[in-house]
Amino acid sequence: MLTFTLGPLTLALNHLLLLGALAIASLVGWRVARRGGQNPESALFNLFLLGLLCARLGFVAQYWPMYRGDPLQIIDIRDGGFQGYTGLLGIVLGALWQGWRQPGLRRPLGWGLCSGALFWVLASLASHLYNQGTQLPALTLRSAEDRPVALAEFRGRALVINIWATWCPPCRREMPILQAAQHEFPGVTFLFVNQGETPQTVTTFLATTGLNLSHVLFDGSGQLSRQVGSMALPTTLFYNADGMLIGSHLGELSRASLHHALAPLADAQPPATVLQGK
């Protein structure tokens, strides 16, 4: 499962786990503070924001050549570009600073952070073990010519599956990046699986936008989304040459977040000139 859906609201599972960790940290910190000390709720929330900021800055620093030409992309966090270790470092340093300035916070804040971190680590590990290694779904979709195409035909090479629709604004915005990646990563097959639309609608969209996508398939009933456990658009899935899921991305991709997601695929590394943004 990649998303959690409650009515009209859809959340990525990793985002839900982060919010759950914050809630548990706040609850534990509050209970410890009742026995002596300051309530760490506001401090924990501030540390949460600090961690997000540091994680974002760490990601931007790692892929700075891709942000240099358009600095406004730095604040566009819809691409999900965060570096975990820099976020963790920011939280640790912030907690040490808070504990040094306010001794009454030390015990509640420490217990809150440890409990929240333990929940996040265990829940993330369980999610990772559940999703990683998931096989490429045994589905047969349709081409624009109404020819049946089995996903199994794409085994043997690294595979990126983008689940999208023409009416989805984030899908439309990320399409030029995915189109360019088809040439930047020649060792990877990019597959675009449209959800619930007719070939005529998609062909018209591609013609009017000037996009040239290599492999476009049609999933009229949304069976791929159901099988991979994500009802959010866009969803991008990353499979190795053996057809095993090694990563996923929910929401709009930027050039930097796409390069980051493709990093585990050893044969997907683009030439150095591409990585340097030349």
Query: How many structural domains does the chain have?
Result: 2
160 and 267 both lie in a single domain: yes
pLDDT at 156 over 60: yes
Nearest to 196 by CA among 213, 216, 219, 217: 219
Which residue, of 131, 164, 189, is where some domain finishes?
131
148 and 117 both lie in a single domain: no
Which residue, of 100, 131, 162, is where some domain finishes?
131
Residue-range definition of the domain harbouring residue 8 = 3-131
Which two tokens mark 26? Answer: 């706040």
pLDDT band at 271 (very low <50, low <70, confident <90, very high): very low
37 and 57 both lie in a single domain: yes
What CATH number corresponds to the domain at position 236? 3.40.30.10
User: What tens digit of pLDDT does each residue of 179-210 get?
Assistant: 999 988 988 999 999 998 999 999 999 999 99
Q: Strand, coil or helix: what is 244?
A: strand
pLDDT band at 272 (very low <50, low <70, confident <90, very high): very low
96 and 115 both lie in a single domain: yes
35 and 14 both lie in a single domain: yes
Which residue, of 131, 153, 181, is where some domain finishes?
131
29 and 149 both lie in a single domain: no
10 and 114 both lie in a single domain: yes
144 and 263 both lie in a single domain: yes
157 and 38 both lie in a single domain: no
149 and 248 both lie in a single domain: yes
Please give the DSSP secondary-structure letter assigned to residue 263.
Answer: T
Q: Name the least confident of 2-16, 63-77, 95-109.
A: 2-16
210 and 92 both lie in a single domain: no
Q: Which residues contact 198 (CB under 8 A, 6 or more apart)?
A: 218
Average pLDDT, the chain: 86
- Strand positions, DSSP E, the chain: 3-6, 9-12, 140-142, 148-150, 158-164, 188-195, 215-219, 235-239, 245-250
- Please give the pLDDT value at position 230: 78
